[in-house]
């Protein structure tokens, strides 16, 4: 696993070492020992929940989502199929990158993951049909602690690579 620090404090891109042969490919998606070395906000990352997001159509937007208080979660998201444009907003008042956002395009030609620190909101837009994203979180989902930001909030002026076409009612209401 190779870790690349991105522009938001505590945000990392992981490129996985993959073994390919006539059967397909094999690689390690998660290793707590490796994660703990590179991610200072979550020493001893404990997996509490995993989720999968299957997105049928290009232009599907999910987010911005985050949780607050004791439910604030660190996420590790991995793209398995398709392509996404992922945007992370830093909402941590004591962070050097508070109120800043970073974006990254990830496609399944290279299996990669993002470590998204607690206190950051995350959203992604699918750039291909049939996109599959897997989430590992260190906290269980808590509806009462859930918060969000509308994808086109003028406060952040996010530049999406294409106009979102499919958005849930919940995400439109943030």
Instruction: CATH number of the domain at 39, please.
Output: 2.60.120.10
pLDDT score recorded for residue 39: 59
Domain count, the chain: 1
Token pair of 119 as six digits: 């206190």
* Cα–Cα dist 115/44, whole Å: 14
Token pair of 112 as six digits: 């990669």
Percentage helix, strand, coil for the chain under 3-state DSSP, each rounded to 5: 10, 45, 45
Summarize the confidence of residues 120-133 as an average pLDDT. 98
Is 51 within 8 Å of 143 (Cβ atoms)?
A: no
Range of the domain at 131: 2-173
What three-state secondary structure class fits 97?
Answer: coil
pLDDT for 170 beyond 60:
yes
**Cβ neighbours around 157 below 10 Å, total:** 8
pTM above 0.85, yes or no: yes
Summarised one tens digit per residue, pLDDT across range 62-82 is 999 999 999 999 999 999 999
Alpha-carbon distances, residue 44 vs 21, 38, 147 (angstroms): 33, 11, 25
* Cα–Cα dist 141/19, whole Å: 33
Summarize the confidence of residues 8-12 as an average pLDDT. 91
Q: What is the DSSP letter of 28?
A: -
Identify the burial level of 58 via C-beta atoms within 10 angstroms of its C-beta, where 0-12 means exposed, 13-18 middle and 19 or more buried.
Answer: middle
């Amino acid at each position: 696993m190779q870790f690349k620090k991105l522009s938001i404090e505590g945000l990392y891109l992981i490129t996985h070492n993959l073994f390919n042969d006539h059967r397909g490919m094999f690689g390690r998606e998660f290793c707590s020992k490796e994660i703990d070395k590179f991610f200072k906000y979550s020493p001893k990352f404990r997996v509490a929940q995993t989720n999968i997001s299957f997105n049928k159509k290009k232009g599907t937007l999910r987010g911005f989502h985050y949780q607050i208080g004791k439910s604030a979660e660190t996420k590790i998201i991995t793209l398995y199929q398709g392509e996404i444009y992922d945007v992370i907003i830093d909402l941590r008042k004591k962070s050097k990158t508070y109120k800043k956002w970073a974006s990254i395009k990830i496609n399944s030609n290279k299996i990669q993951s993002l470590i998204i620190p607690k206190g950051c909101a995350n959203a992604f837009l699918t750039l291909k049909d049939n996109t599959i994203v897997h989430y590992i979180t260190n906290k269980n989902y808590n509806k009462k602690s859930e918060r969000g930001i509308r994808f086109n909030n003028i406060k952040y002026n996010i530049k999406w690579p294409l106009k979102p076409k499919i958005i849930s009612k919940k995400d439109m209401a943030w």
